[in-house]
């Protein structure tokens, strides 16, 4: 199931939002554990999550390790002719090596994250995009370091003790070497991280006890990070912005680390190009974005900023999103 059929005018009530936040903390948390922590019945949790998933509002997928994903990742800014943005955005979104695609406000720029090998990267940058008449300019920024990514962000509808109670145990061993069974399990969790151990065992043709042991080992190695994909407007976040920041080289690590701790920020990356940092964040409205720029970025000593507001998210964490109206 993709999220392309989700109603952009749908709303989530307070409990729905808390359930989404629970899955942002741990996408594989059992309904019983969520029910206990949030103080509701397991039946209510099951009914609500099923409704959101069947309506295409919510989907939980596995994310690759943030450091592994950052290595060799590219952030693309593609300028297109007016009226052609949907075609280019959808072409990029159809690629399995492009997990994130946004149409920027104004309708003449597409932003995308590319995770691929050098050969596919070069074919895209030097062959496919230049050969498309609708593309007028392409800028590629290499990710040099990831301070945080979308797998860390939480919408803030849980108390600190609730989030702590739901948090999975921290990874405490190096990532294990992977065999064919491990890769099969990770691939299936990459499309639906809520699958039960029994369902996974049936899908890969292995005993459930073996699957359970493998999942425990993969989790201990930090390979079961998840992402609860949902339209942020349904969580009260009407503005999604990319901030390209000029920061003195000697302060990149300090500023990147500080921004990664901010509750509105869902990604911070050191990049190649004229701006040393890219920060992505959600805000309730444009006033909230202004306050973030003046109150948060100002004291950090950021010397320059380019603000690019997302008009429409096309794909997030590998999940296609609805194609309705743009964000305000």
Give the tens place of pLDDT for each residue, 261-309.
999 999 999 999 999 999 999 999 999 999 999 999 999 999 999 999 9
| DSSP-derived secondary structure for 85-151 | HHHHHHHHHTSTT--EEEEETTSSEEEEEE---HHHHHHIIIIITTT-TTEEEEEEEEEEEEEE-TT
Give the tens place of pLDDT for each residue, 2-43.
344 444 445 799 999 999 999 999 999 999 999 999 999 999
268 or 151: which leads in pLDDT:
268
Q: How many CB atoms lie within 10 A of CB 126?
A: 11
Whether residue 316 has pLDDT greater than 50: yes
Give the residue-averaged pLDDT of 111-126. Answer: 91
What integer pLDDT is reported at residue 9 of this predicted model? Answer: 46
CATH of domain 67-148+237-320: 3.30.70.3460
What integer pLDDT is reported at residue 4 of this predicted model? Answer: 41
Q: How far apart are CA 124 and CA 84, in angstroms?
A: 18
Domain limits, the chain? 1-62+151-168+227-235, 67-148+237-320
228 or 151: which leads in pLDDT:
228
Is residue 34 classed as helix, strand or coil in its secondary structure? helix
Give the pLDDT band (50/70/90) at residue 151.
confident
What integer pLDDT is reported at residue 174 of this predicted model? Answer: 87
What integer pLDDT is reported at residue 299 of this predicted model? Answer: 94
Give the residue-averaged pLDDT of 89-103. Answer: 94
Give the residue-averaged pLDDT of 169-186. Answer: 91
Which residue in this structure is represented by tokens 């349904």? 234
Is residue 290 classed as helix, strand or coil in its secondary structure? helix
What integer pLDDT is reported at residue 267 of this predicted model? Answer: 94
Q: How many CB atoms lie within 10 A of CB 57?
A: 22
Could you tell me if 26 and 168 are in contact, meaning their C-beta atoms sit under 8 angstroms apart? yes
Both tokens of residue 311?
């008009």
Helix (H), strand (E) counts: the chain: 12, 11
Of 71, 59, 97, 99, the C-alpha closest to 227 is 59
Q: Give me the chain's average pLDDT, please.
A: 90
96 or 8: which leads in pLDDT:
96
Give the residue-averaged pLDDT of 166-183. Answer: 90
Could you tell me if 278 and 147 are in contact, meaning their C-beta atoms sit under 8 angstroms apart? no
- The architecture (CATH level 2) of 1-62+151-168+227-235 comes to Orthogonal Bundle (1.10)
What integer pLDDT is reported at residue 245 of this predicted model? Answer: 97
What integer pLDDT is reported at residue 239 of this predicted model? Answer: 96
* 2-13 as b/e: b if 16+ CB within 10 A: ebeebeeeeebe
Give the residue-averaged pLDDT of 148-158. Answer: 90
Give the tens place of pLDDT for each residue, 62-71.
987 655 555 5
What integer pLDDT is reported at residue 8 of this predicted model? Answer: 41
Whether residue 327 has pLDDT greater than 60: no
3 or 190: which leads in pLDDT:
190
Give the residue-averaged pLDDT of 156-185. Answer: 92
Q: Do domains 1-62+151-168+227-235 and 67-148+237-320 have the same CATH topology?
A: no
Give the residue-averaged pLDDT of 227-255. Answer: 94
Q: How far apart are CA 219 and CA 136, in angstroms?
A: 44
Q: State which H helix or E strand residue 188 sits in.
A: helix 180-189
Q: How far apart are CA 82 and CA 12, in angstroms?
A: 34
Most confident of 37-41, 71-75, 82-86: 37-41
What integer pLDDT is reported at residue 145 of this predicted model? Answer: 92
């Amino acid at each position: 199931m993709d999220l392309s059929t989700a109603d952009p005018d749908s709303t989530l009530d307070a409990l729905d939002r808390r359930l989404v936040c629970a899955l942002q903390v741990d996408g594989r948390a059992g309904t019983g554990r969520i029910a206990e922590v949030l103080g509701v019945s397991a039946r209510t949790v099951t009914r609500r999550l099923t409704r959101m998933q069947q309506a295409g509002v919510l989907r939980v997928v596995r994310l690759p390790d943030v450091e592994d994903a950052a290595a060799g990742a590219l952030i693309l800014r593609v300028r297109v002719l007016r009226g052609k943005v949907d075609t280019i955005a959808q072409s990029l979104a159809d690629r399995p090596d492009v997990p994130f695609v946004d149409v920027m406000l104004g309708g003449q720029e597409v932003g995308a994250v590319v995770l691929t090998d050098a050969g596919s990267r070069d074919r895209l940058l030097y062959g496919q995009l230049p050969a498309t008449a609708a593309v007028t300019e392409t800028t590629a920024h290499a990710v040099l370091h990831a301070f945080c990514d979308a797998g860390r962000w939480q919408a803030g509808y849980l108390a600190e003790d609730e989030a702590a109670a739901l948090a999975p145990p921290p990874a405490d061993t190096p990532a294990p070497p992977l065999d064919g069974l491990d890769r099969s399990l990770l691939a299936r969790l990459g499309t639906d991280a809520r699958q039960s151990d029994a369902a996974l065992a049936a899908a890969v043709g292995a005993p459930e006890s073996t699957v359970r042991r493998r999942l425990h080992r993969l989790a201990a190695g930090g390979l079961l990070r998840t992402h609860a994909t949902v339209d942020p407007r349904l969580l009260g976040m009407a503005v999604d912005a990319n901030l390209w920041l000029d920061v003195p080289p000697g302060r990149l690590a300090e500023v990147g680390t500080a921004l990664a701790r901010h509750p509105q920020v869902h990604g911070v990356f050191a990049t190649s190009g004229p701006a040393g940092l890219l920060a992505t964040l959600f805000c309730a409205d444009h006033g909230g974005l202004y306050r973030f720029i003046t109150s948060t970025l100002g004291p950090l000593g950021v010397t320059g900023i380019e603000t690019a507001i997302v008009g429409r998210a096309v794909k997030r964490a590998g999940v296609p999103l609805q194609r309705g109206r743009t964000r305000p």
